[in-house]
Structure 1
């Protein structure tokens, strides 16, 4: 496409001129659009339902805009923007000090930067100023590029360890022979490693300009003040004089089956079939979204029924890429060891391309619409997600496509969906199998551009959601508003009614059962019982359960093992009582279908097989087993991969039924709900569902006393894995009520948590050795036995440098201590993170349930806040020196260490 025309230099900030006003454009379903004279588009999505603010800026630049030799350039800019400007040279440290949950992402059509934080005008004003500063004044310097290069390569290597990710890249590259969608966003290694800094700076100056960006502010904020700050910071940036290049390449119609084969060490067989589809703005795109669900969903999809239920594959999937230009539908299957690859490939193709012989039914379409719309609804009701979700619609051509696609999904007709299947899901549009000659080849429709403005002429916005009252997420107010109760069965409850957008409710239910002796030998059985609770009851089949959840606009997630099972519920005010009734049925009346157990066993075996070759899994398993004193069968025993597979194979349906009958009940249960609900209705529903359901056996928590962890260093060779891992472990004789709890928490934050930690600044920022390095403490609430853990990923050739850097930084913090400045900055950051956490309804519900079990209230959270605020340098240093003993650590590395 030639060179980059019309470049302009970065513009310094200055006092905005009177003409730099923010002009209102339109309001659609609660989202208001504004424009600055320099071209910046601003979207405001106010929502006071929880005290957080999310700010996102989307640039219309991704890998699609990269020229020959420039692959990975958009992604490199994402990394380098966080390297700072003359006024803000240490971006991650500033984020951490303010308690930001922040990041950036690069995709095919766009790059975005976002941060969520506890609603605070100072934080909002600062982040807006940084975004404006970063837009035109980022260093994009050679020294930063050099230090970040190893990190970017490490991110590449991390992806190289994933067969599914690489197969996706190879499939896309085979599908797109001319268009840049066939190029991986992370770029070619040669392009990234040899990038020319003036060319990268020119790319930055071309695309990082206000007329190519959309700023989105969602959550709680003052509209007038926010617009004033937008005008102040962004209005000072001059409108660029350059013109953006016109990108006109479209992939021609595919004219025959294509294939790609990837051969590497480890993992399980994987199939992926790609089909070209229209752009997201095209009227037919909604049909492709629904087709992906009809085919790839589990358990309702056709691929699941044909491949998984018949033991041809372990699992299946389906997805669409909604893009600015014609995108792709990807369908596939993961195989377990021993399953026939050729048979699976034939069955997958037969199902996908058999739509003409087996047309879509009205029930399939209705089910797919309900599932898609439920997911859209949940995303739109979350102010922390909707601002970032709009990025893709902006990249597709217009942010209102977010609503238009929803309307098209809702209005989709069976005949149109069937027509799109017949046009697109054909052999000549497939990238997967061998070439097959044919006398009358079919062609998909010729790709065309979409006039987005014309498509939106018939769009009629729905009414915006009502304003939600503000909520004070302080510990005292949470305790004040929380209603606690106990049901006849013994179940403890905590309800926190509060306003939410769209009447959303988050709930948590945990059942606890068994003791150290009665649970012996039940680890895998207990896990499978929990996994099968939503796969069938005595009244409802697996698909009926899913349909019921979709009808109730409810998500249910169940997980558990020996000793407990936890149900997470996301629902709405009107549906929550019925959702609770359904959960009660799932818990009390599971049917444990044999076919589903076999499916679960195959999927677990496939997962274990993949973990056998993964450096991270190998090292984690080895360290978990090192120093573990418990015998085989004890629920605290760390199993080998072979032991897991043996346990998986040995489980039968009768064991599941016997375990459920012996242990399940609500006598030792905790339930919590946070959100917009009728407390009395919830109590009645809970009482009716499980209020009388008593546990058949006693519950005594399995103790986990402190046991010695012998120092060691383990080394594992993992051939053909380009990403290596380091890990270290120690066991600290403390719990979360210990006098050193706050000091150790803060000290660990300074050492290895977040963007301002010692390890991050040296290993990630300064030396560029790792994409992710951290330390953490897994706090025990009972025994004085809390694991201290550290980890890093890196290129295998950097093993010695990474280990040395970790050892030196730990030694330095113990010898020289942390500084007063670090302590004060960490206090501010941790307290801000804790406030942000209390603003998340799902976290609140989980904590309320945990507090019931621990006999705590949020007064404990307030006490921790106060203890953190009162910490001194001496207390933090004393705690670190008392408890961190590097000579007693167990550590290990795993990777392809060819020269070691």
Structure 2
């Protein structure tokens, strides 16, 4: 039979401790004063902070003493799992004046023990009412609070006992499944870690850290003493003052814990396979903390669904032969807790049917609401159980321990009242709010005769591993290269092939003899590319999926053999190939690229895969705030008709075009447009120029383009100023996008000043937007502005934005607007401009020192018919700029009244 209380799996266990010096100082000797009384229980408070609860009851000739410390596994840090439980063991190892407590328990007839749980640790003893035993136990508890040995020798001797307790638990499938369920439910909170701790943490625990943990949490102001049953309250208060009262209040500040898991946003599952036992399944749901008003409804739902024989699970599964038994459990905890409902199966019962039926019952209360009779029955049963517990003086002290762990002992009574007064509508509401598929973790234990497991985890002796290491010869030193524009131009060799391909090669030393190259093919014109949709980009994406000679797998194998990487991408009008290779393999890599570009096979299976990936990508963007806003801003005011390469497509249009592509279209497009007549190749790194030139000639020298090329113009247009807002439910990150078309290109005399002004506004780590929105107000992880520069027409796009929590939208927009306005009104200061010039020029130098980026620039300059002399002129112009010049250009071109603003996020209605 499955034990009905799974949280009792970490039940009372024996404990031990380390020697710490006794406290010499004493607290004030005044008698404890009553603080409040509730239904026969009176609270007192000692000057040192100890809370004392007295619950006298002469009806039974026994006395129970319980000491609860507000420390459990919730309070353990990384590497400390199991510490609270270890202390529970070690406390029973004694103090200098109480050395053999277990013998004393036996001699005095005390039924004593301790238990550790997630939020608390408690120590309790019940015995026949006897003043001598009561005083002795109080003295020991006071002594143990601050003087327990917590010694290394005791830890070593107790370790076998703790391991045995772990191993005992490992034999219980229900216990392990319970632990795995909590681990799956809690991503960050310590409730997901078992109280007994990780074996590695327990076996390797540092005694100093354990002693520090003890001194931090075992203090009078972190404890509650409860005495219940037959005793003289006046005598007990005197004894308590005499034993506990002399302990000074702790001077240590205990950490305030604040970790909470976010709302679960999708069902989770756990499967456990071990030898023996019976099939068991349980569904766990996150519920409010035990102190929350709704927890009473959770308690009642546990009975309405999981009670035997009246619960719905029993009636629907057990009585109908789908399961052998049913159970439920609620974990009332300080932080958000857990509700569990489950069943055990007999041999031969169908797991799938039982699972479906269990979930239908637990999550079906929306379609089959709770009845008044069910609620009344559950209330009667719960209240009966509470009454029986409260009227037992041996049980009430331990029961109060759980309420103390939740935050206040009076919650014991408040929960009773809440259960008694619970309304059907509230219980139904809590069920529909909490018992949801997205809030569920389903755990399943499947008995297995021969489980197959991976090897047990083990540490590695790194020093031993290094002894076996034999280093290879060091990499030869690489000569320095000065990436000035003049040196780049002087070292670059340019030529053209018969096909028309232009090349710019910059041989230079590089680490590992690496070569970086960029090849760009340009094709088509405004008219011939009209209406091609996704075909152009699909052709580019299919080039490395197979050739007439090599399969996709063989292409990858060949690249691995050549120790090279090739990335191909493109769209309407151009396809680019980025190459990373080495001196000895660059020629063969160029030959392979030639085959990819000239002889693609366009396999249908690869097209199907690519289409599925494309459609999936669009689907992911449909509810993403950043993608939605970017698409909307791009479409806003776009003057071109659908089919034009400059047209901005909607998500639906993109999907439709992806679906429409077929293999014959790809082959036809490749035949019509692909060739090297309008191609550019740039390479940087350690290579032989003659070898690369020969490889290019063999691969592309005779490959002429079948149709003419003319760059599609991109003249200036000004979308109407607007503010676009999009609500994206269930998205915790919102986005702001601000855009303006500016009448500039990268050859305009105002280019350097506008680039520097924007750098100060939003492109640098010291920019105004960053300092205001990110650093000072802490509203955004990323806030920025940048310019997409046009190389030809005076039509560049300035864009700014930020990401933020949806509730901060107004503050982010206000901050963004105000910083732009301040930059235009007040301008940038001379010292600000001087600092920004140095930074921006350093960034430009850094970019020229990146071989891949430099190769791309060489290729682009061939198309633009430029050299790095233009780069040098821009650097010189940047260096000469004054604050007045920058401010004048920014005021001339940046026009807030022309901004197109887009925002997207889960914006709640006020």
Deviation of 1:798 (Å): 0.5
Q: CA deviation at 1:755?
A: 1.1
- After TM superposition, give the deviation of residue 455 of structure 1 in Å: 1.7
Q: How does 1:248-397 map to 2 (within 5 A)?
A: 263=265
CA contact (8 A) 1:663 1:695 kept: yes
User: Secondary structure of 1:493's partner?
Assistant: strand
Scaled by the length of structure 2, the TM-score of the pair is 0.53
**What residue number does 2:805 align with?**
795
Q: Deviations over 1:822-881 (max 9, x none)?
A: 100010000000111110000110000000000111111101100000001111001000
Counterpart residue number, 1:318: none
Q: Would you say the 8 A contact 2:184–2:192 is kept in 1?
A: no
| Alignment match, 1:590 | 600
Q: Hey, what does 2:683 align to over in structure 1?
A: 673
SS at structure 1 position matched to 2:534? helix
Cα distance change of structure 1 residues 718 and 443 upon mapping to structure 2, 3 Å threshold: same
* Aligned counterpart for 1:452 among listed residues 462, 470, 477: 462
Q: 1:731 aligns with which of 741, 744, 748?
A: 741
Query: Take 2:700 and 2:600, find their aligned partners in 1: how far apart are those partners?
Result: 14
1:605 corresponds in structure 2 to 615
**In the alignment, which of 693, 697, 700 is matched to residue 707 of structure 2?**
697
Question: Over the residues paired in the alignment, what is the CA RMSD in angstroms?
Answer: 3.2
CA distance in 2, matches of 1:731, 1:574: 47
Residues 496 and 433 (structure 1 numbering): CA distance in 2 closer, same or farther, change over 3 Å?
farther
Cα distance in 1, alignment partners of residues 689 and 889 from structure 2: 44
Q: State the match for 2:22 in structure 1.
A: none
Task: Work out whether 1:811 is the aligned partner of 2:821.
Answer: yes
The alignment covers a number of residue pairs equal to: 507
2:633 pairs with 1:635? no
**Equivalent residue number for residue 657 of structure 1:** 667
2:500 to 487, 490, 493: 490
Q: Which residue of 1 aligns with 2:754?
A: 744
Residue-by-residue CA offset, 1:617-676 (whole Å, 9 max, x unaligned) = 000000000010111111111110100000000000000000000000000000011000
> CA 1:179–1:781 in 2, change beyond 3 Å: closer, same or farther?
farther
| Pairing 1:769–2:779 present | yes
Q: How many angstroms apart in 1 are the aligned matches of 2:541 and 2:786?
A: 29
How many angstroms does 1:175 deviate by? Answer: 14
In structure 2, the CA distance between the partners of 1:171 and 1:606, relative to structure 1 (3 Å rule), is: farther
Cα 1:759–1:173 change in 2 (3 A) is closer
- Residue 436 (structure 1) shift: 3.9
Q: CA deviation at 1:458?
A: 1.3
In 1: Cα distance, 2:624 partner to 2:481 partner: 45
* Corresponding residue number in structure 2 for 1:45: none
User: What is the 5 A alignment of 1:216-255?
Assistant: none
In the TM superposition, residue 66 of structure 1 has moved relative to its aligned partner by 7.7
- 1:494-536 Cα offsets, whole Å, 9 max, x none, are 0000001110000000000000010011131001100010000
Distance 1:485 1:274 in 2: 67
CA contact 1:274–1:432 (8 Å) conserved in 2: no
Shift of 1:440: 2.1
Are 2:558 and 1:554 aligned? no
Give the deviation of 1:445 after TM superposition: 2.0
Whole-angstrom CA distance in 2 between matches of 1:750 and 1:708? 25
CA–CA distance in structure 2, aligned partners of residues 170 and 487 of structure 1: 64
Q: Aligned partners of 2:724 and 2:847: how far apart in 1?
A: 36
| Distance in structure 2 (CA, Å) of the matches to 1:899 and 1:539 | 61
What residue in structure 2 maps to residue 871 of structure 1?
Answer: 881
Structure 2 residue aligned with 1:439: 449
Question: In structure 2, how many angstroms separate the alpha carbons of the residues matched to 1:179 and 1:588?
Answer: 61
- The residue aligned with 2:540 is 530
- Give per-residue Cα distances to partners, 1:196-243, cap 9 Å, x unaligned: xxx9xx9xxxxxxxxxxxxxxxxxxxxxxxxxxxxxxxxxxxxxxxxx
Please tell me whether the aligned partners of residues 171 and 272 of structure 1 are also in contact (alpha carbons under 8 angstroms): no
The aligned runs of 1:6-17 (5 Å cut-off) are none
- Structure-1-length-normalised TM-score: 0.54
Aligned partners of 2:570, 2:192: CA distance in 1, in Å? Answer: 46
Taking the TM superposition and a 5 Å limit, the aligned residue runs for 1:457-536 are 457-536=467-546
Encode CA deviations 1:255-299: one digit per residue, 9 max, x unaligned.
xxxxx99646xxxx9999999xxxxxxxxxxxxxxxxxxxxxxxx
- Residue 434 of structure 1 deviates from its aligned partner by 5.9
Aligned twin of 2:791: 781
Where does the alignment leave 5 or more consecutive residues of structure 2 unmatched?
A: 1-75, 82-182, 199-212, 217-261, 274-351, 353-440
Going from structure 1 to structure 2, the CA distance change for 1:495 and 1:433 (only over 3 Å counts) comes to: farther
Q: CA 1:518 to 1:436, structure 2 compared with 1: closer, same or farther past 3 Å?
A: farther
Q: Secondary structure at the match of 1:607?
A: helix
What's the offset of the Cα at 1:892?
A: 1.3
Q: Show structure 1 runs of 5+ residues with no match.
A: 1-62, 69-167, 184-198, 203-259, 276-341, 343-430
Seen in structure 2, the aligned counterparts of structure 1 residues 434 and 879 have a Cα distance that, compared at 3 Å, is farther
Larger radius of gyration: 2
Does the C-alpha gap of structure 1 residues 172 and 800 become closer, same or farther in structure 2, counting only changes over 3 Å?
A: closer
Alpha carbons 1:769, 1:798 under 8 Å: kept: yes
Find the counterpart in structure 1 of residue 251 from structure 2: none
Cα separation, 2, equivalents of 1:574 and 1:807:
55
Indicate the larger mover: 665-674 or 458-467: 458-467
CA distance in 2, matches of 1:635, 1:66: 58
Q: Which residue of 1 aligns with 2:624?
A: 614
Task: Return closer, same or farther for 1:651/1:801 CA change in 2, 3 Å cut-off.
Answer: same
* Contact 2:270/2:443 (8 A) holds in 1: no
Structure 1 residues 476, 797: closer, same or farther in 2, change over 3 A? same
- 8 A Cα contact 2:783 2:802, kept in partner: yes
* Alpha-carbon shift at residue 439 of structure 1 (Å): 2.2
Secondary structure class of the residue paired with 1:522? coil
Q: Greater relative contact order: 1 or 2 (C-alpha under 8 angstroms, separation 6 or more)? A: 1
Deviation for aligned residue 1:468: 1.2
Q: 1:473 to 1:448 in 2, by over 3 A?
A: same
